[in-house]
Amino acid sequence: MKDLENMELKISKFLRAGVILSGVIIAIGWGMSFKSDSDPFVPLQTYSSLNIVDSLQMNFILQNWGKIIAYFGLALLISLPVIRVFLSVILFIKQKEKTMALIGAIVLIGLILSFSLGVEA
């Protein structure tokens, strides 16, 4: 039982570190954007309906590394709940709680499916 509590604590610390790391990465990206643009809020004055793939391609072409780094930090932050559910499923399997592991697996499939359907190519 102590080993399982230790694993839960490790998951908690991993998530905390992930949130802090993604926040630092996003802040670095924003800082780079503020440094390279004279007024970083000009692009926000008009709505642009670019999907994420086109936006990333455009930023790569323009070598706008600040926005690319900020996107990476955001992707890391968004992936943390998926990682949490995945690790919880593993924890439930180790605890031999089949019902909770099944529910966790269904939630994980739902999360992955919702992210997959939300990305427009």
Whole-number Å distance between alpha carbons of 26 and 66: 9
User: Residue 47 carries which side chain, given as an amino acid letter?
Assistant: Y
Can you give the pLDDT at residue 36? 63
Q: Could you tell me the pLDDT band of residue 116, with boundaries at 50, 70 and 90?
A: confident
Q: Which range, of 45-49, 56-60, 106-110, averages the lowest pLDDT?
A: 45-49
pLDDT at 43 over 70: no
Cα-to-chain-centroid distance, residue 96: 29
* Number of residues that this document lists for the chain: 121
What pTM, to 2 d.p., does this model score?
Answer: 0.78
- Of all residues in the chain, what percent carry a pLDDT higher than 90? 49
Grade residue 1 by pLDDT with cuts at 50, 70 and 90. Answer: low
